[in-house]
Chain A
Amino acid sequence: MTRRAVGELYDTAFNAAVLDRRLASIWSTPPGLWGALSTVDHKIIGRRYITTAFVFLALGGLLSLLMRLQLAQPEARFIGPDRYNQIFTMHGTNMMFLFAVPVMQAMAIYLVPLMVGTRNIAFPRLNAFSYWIYLAGGLLLWVAFVLDTGPDIGWFAYVPLSGPQYAAGKRADIWAQMITFTEVSALAVAVEIVVTVFKQRAPGMSLDRIPLFVWSMLVTSFLVILAMPAIMVASTALILDRLVGTHFFNPAEGGDVLLWQHLFWFFGHPEVYIVFLPAVGMVSTIVATFTRRPVFGYLGMVMALIATAVLSFGLWVHHMFVAGLPRLGESFFTASSMAIAVPAGVQIFCWLATMWAGRPIFKTPFLFVIGFVVIFVIGGLTGVMVASVPFDTQVHDTYFVVAHFHYVLVGGAVFPLLGAIYYWFPKLTGRMMSEPLGRWVFGLIFAGFNLTFFPMHILGLRGMPRRIYTYQPEMPWSGLNIFISLSAIILAIGFLLFFIDAIRSAKSGPVASGNPWGATTLEWATSSPPPPYNFARLPVVGSLKPLTDHPGALPVASGLRVDRRELLVSSVVQALPEAREPSSEDSIWPLWAALATTATLIWSIFTPWAVVWGSIPIAVALIGWFWPKGVPEDES
């Protein structure tokens, strides 16, 4: 450590009570509207992200109920074809871009700094900016939908359907620009998480002692960083084709329509794993806690996370098996699609082995994990089926594929997420959710989901295509469709109960004890909800389960200043302390920067000059944001 200057205050000079007071005065968010708008506390921003994402989940769910109402009987006139196109596009776009990815990153924003034992996420102002941009993108999409300008081109917006020739008006532009909002937001969060995990871990938390949820978010963040630029490039090229008159996707002028599919699915398939891998971390955490033993095969789990992530970049052509590519080239993607079942299988077997060797306690979070294993395995099996070119050619664009990806995405992500909400709810709010109600929620969602989506496999095999707004009575689909629509009500009631339970418990649920589940990871080493500074003194980690090793008080590191926001920077592999670094103060500039960016991006739907003139307020906001502080950045 550097020599201490006169006037600087360090934590070594204070007892626990005084230290808490001093840290609270330094790290707290000021009360009132200004404080709320300028906060950079990862916990406040994480809670906002989670709440917003669940609002979008509810809205997307309502859209799916509208679709089920329309499809419940043949030749229904409840929704017209144009509105139906908007609804299914909004449902997919909303669920993938406004719910699934953001909610997983939101959980990481809240939990990763606590789990690695630091006081705030890296780049806290970027974190605040990312939330405002995400919110703006979501509002853009939904306001457009309310104004009958919602995108109607499917969540993947294939050209030429989304190009200037077939998509007049601004609907496709809204979709393309919403992509920019959400991907900027996701990329920002990914960078924050990578830096937090690599450089802000508590002393002693070497790579082999990182909790599996943190590993999963680290790997997911790399996936985001590598995959999302592809869709941003694609959507920007689409806007250029539509607004400026370029010909990226126009074959008549030397462009290529298949280029869109390649770019989209180069992002789109890793996207599945961007949603699934965080769930792997959640499941691993819940399984370890509720079986009272560490997850079997930690090394194998880390290997599976990384191997899945890398392999996910070699699967995208299996979405294009009917596009007319050479069969030999396609077979390489079949091979990779089959190979990715190996790390997925390793994960499943590790969890099963952990349950087998442990003493399972069947609380609500664990029930969701069991539901996840059942549903995800079914989704994985149909995944191997559609990875085969001949089978995929038969069921392409049918309800079989709808059933498959709902099994993978809802089973692989939503079930673990709901389990994670029940598990970490006491950490977020200091209160417990209802256990009896939680069992009802699980039962209704599990039964409702399977009754809704399993028959879709049969519908697909009977030839019912996706994205049709109605069908004729002579087709053999009516019986199953009414059954599916009625089952969807059960699923909806399950989610409604979940929301009621969450809102009611946040207000008046039983107060949670310090570590209500007997967990072993660091987030439970501080109070619930945590104080603004997370840890009064940073914990020192000696194993994968620090709370079991030191059930009383954890060993702690000291020597951080308490007269400014300060973090400990540690080495990448062994997490040895390297430097003390200041952490950002609250600032309103991320909000101004987000507003300026929002205005520019929306304006640019109408004229390319918006990029030129809009850059001025963005530059002003960034100058305010990065105005020199006049203090040393770090002290080794």
Chain B
Amino acid sequence: MTNSWLRYTGFIVPPLAWALSTQLGQITPYIDCRQTIPWTAAVCGILLVASIAGVAASWATSTGLVKSKRFVVDTGFLIALAFVFALSLQEAATMLLDSCQR
């Protein structure tokens, strides 16, 4: 039961983490600017790590499936990589830009 859920974490965790990061990226820069604490970078970094963990969990638990289910898991794995890449770019942006800049 646990494994069957973990299989699909590649499909679910990175896209959700990216969506959350994108949304928070519209809110946290205002807080960063006021408090001089890099919340945006921290949140984005945590979500990036969570995404990578989701991909790894999906990969590790996807053995011994019938072909059509294997297809779903493999597709999720590849999709996850695209979102990990997007999150990496977002994390890089937090290190390059000043949160107060308009």
Contacts and interface: CB of A to CB of B under 8 A. Distances in A.
A383 to B, nearest CB: 16
Interface string B66-86: 111101101100110011011
Interface string A314-352: 100100000011111101111110110011000000000
B8 interface: no
Given A310-B15, A327-B101, A332-B21, A342 B85 contact: yes
A328 B79 contact: no
A299 interface: yes
Contact of A336 (B29, B86, B94): B86
A306 B79 contact: yes
A300 B32 CA distance: 39
B67 A208 contact: yes
B78 A336 contact: no
- Mostly, the A contact residues are helix
Contacts of B66: 574
Contacts of A326: 26, 29-30, 33, 99-102
Contacts of B82: 303, 307, 311, 339, 342-343
A573 interface: yes
Given A306-B79, A325-B26, 15 more contacts: A206-B71, A303-B79, A311-B18, A311-B82, A311-B83, A314-B22, A317-B26, A326-B100, A327-B101, A331-B25, A333-B22, A334-B93, A336-B18, A573-B69, A574-B68
A175 interface: no
A206 B102 contact: no
9 contacts: A300-B78, A310-B18, A310-B83, A311-B82, A314-B18, A328-B99, A331-B90, A331-B96, A332-B25
Contact of A328 (B19, B21, B32, B83): B32
Interface string A192-210: 0000000000000011100
A311 B29 contact: no
Contacts of B90: 331-332, 335-336
Interface in A231-261: none
Nearest to B69: A573
A317 B93 CA distance: 15
A557 B74 CA distance: 30
Contacts of A132: none
Contacts of B1: none
Nearest to B97: A328
A317 to B, nearest CB: 8
Given A311-B82, A328-B40, A306 B102 contact: no
B92 to A, nearest CB: 8
Given A311-B82, A311-B86, A339-B85, A332 B22 contact: yes
A17 to B, nearest CB: 37
